[in-house]
Amino acid sequence: MKEEIKIKTKDLDLFYGSLQALKSVTMDIPAYRVTALIGPSGCGKSTFLRTLNRMNDLIPDVTVNGKVWVDGIDIYNPDVNVPLLRRKIGMVFQKPNPFPMTIYDNVAYGPRIHGIRKKAILDGIVMRSLTDAALWPEVKDRLGDQAQKLSGGQQQRLCIARALAVEPDILLLDESTSALDPASTQKIEDLISELKTNYTIVMVTHNMQQAARVSDWTAFFMMGEVIEYDQTGNLFYKPQHKETERYLTGRFG
């Protein structure tokens, strides 16, 4: 691909104990684009996503072989500062998980733990992040409210704002709209299209139409392997592999 590569994996294997969840995954993920990962349940797309910010380290008994490079740096090198890595690579989860704190404190959490204390600066960051997440108009008068009071769609946008507050380069979205109603899903899809001007986005989705609508590149996973990886238009209209075509036409999944 002629575009700048942000993330590169080579022969990535992952084992949960003795069960192999990822097999020899080799992918180049371009910068400032949306890359979608699709596939049937249990095919390893979420697992793959989590290897990109080493969130799999939190799960006991996980073995990772192969290489993952972000901006040319091998992130599984033992010298890598993992918390710093996770700051550069933000993640938004399937079910909105705001902290049981105020809206303001949720967004300010990231900057605060990385050393920013001055209220004026935090105020600015909070406003910027909520604006970038298309949530500011709805919450600007109630930043002191508990985050739990927001609706599901608002909570998810809050989680996006929270992730944006630490100024990552990359955003990983793990089925972020699965738990939301269509209206909220639409809002977030629009948001993703806007965010890609400044961020590299990798999203897992089980909704093929969403992948077709929003992404520039799509990877089709099955049983831990990448069956096909191409520009979205090509993959959806001219799939090269039989399994891809079968999945896209709904024969399984």
Partner 1 sequence: MQNDKISVIQLSGHVQYENTLRFDSVVLPRHMKKRQIADWLVRSIGFISIIFTIAFLVAVLIHIAVKGIGWLNLHFLIHTLSVFPEKAGILNAITGSFALMAIVMPVTLVLGAATALYLEEYASKYFFSRFIQIFISNLAGVPSVIFGLLGLSVFGRLMGLRASILSGGLTLSLLALPVVIVAAQEAIRSVPFELREASYALGATHWTTIWRVVLPTAMPGLLTGSILAVSRAIGETAPLVVLGIPALIMKMPDSLLDDFTALPVQIYYWTLDAVLTPEYENLASAAIIVLLVLLLSLNLAAVLIRQRYARLRSS
Q: With binding defined as CB under 8 A, does residue 182 bind partner 1? A: no
Q: With binding defined as CB under 8 A, does residue 148 bind partner 1? A: yes
Q: Which is nearer to partner 1, 174 or 243 (CB)?
A: 174
Q: With binding defined as CB under 8 A, does residue 162 bind partner 1? A: yes
| CA dist., res. 142 & res. 175, Å (int) | 28
204-214: burial string, b at 16+ Cβ within 10 Å, e else: bbbbbebbbeb
Q: For the residues of the chain, what is the DSSP string, one character each?
A: --SPEEEEEEEEEEEETTEEEEEEEEEEEETTSEEEEE-STTSSHHHHHHHHTTGGGGSTTEEEEEEEEETTEETTSTTS-HHHHHHHEEEE-SS----SSBHHHHHHHHHHHTT---HHHHHHHHHHHHHHTT-HHHHTT-TTSBGGGS-HHHHHHHHHHHHHTT--SEEEEESTTTTS-HHHHHHHHHHHHHHTTTSEEEEE-S-HHHHHHH-SEEEEEETTEEEEEEEHHHHHHS-SSHHHHHHHTTS--
Range 55-114, binding partner 1 (CB under 8 A): 55, 58, 83-87, 90-91, 93, 95, 97-101, 109-110, 113-114
Candidates 38-46, 142-150, 190-198, 236-244: pick the segment binding partner 1 (CB under 8 A).
Answer: 142-150
Range 1-40, binding partner 1 (CB under 8 A): none
Residues touching partner 1: how many (CB under 8 A)?
29
Minimum CB distance to partner 1, residue 81 (Å): 9
Q: With binding defined as CB under 8 A, does residue 135 bind partner 1? A: no
Minimum CB distance to partner 1, residue 83 (Å): 5
Minimum CB distance to partner 1, residue 164 (Å): 11
Q: Which is nearer to partner 1, 188 or 227 (CB)?
A: 188
Minimum CB distance to partner 1, residue 162 (Å): 7
Candidates 3-11, 64-72, 159-167, 245-253: pick the segment binding partner 1 (CB under 8 A).
Answer: 159-167
Binding site for partner 1 (CB under 8 A): 53, 55, 58, 83-87, 90-91, 93, 95, 97-101, 109-110, 113-114, 146, 148-150, 159, 162-163, 166
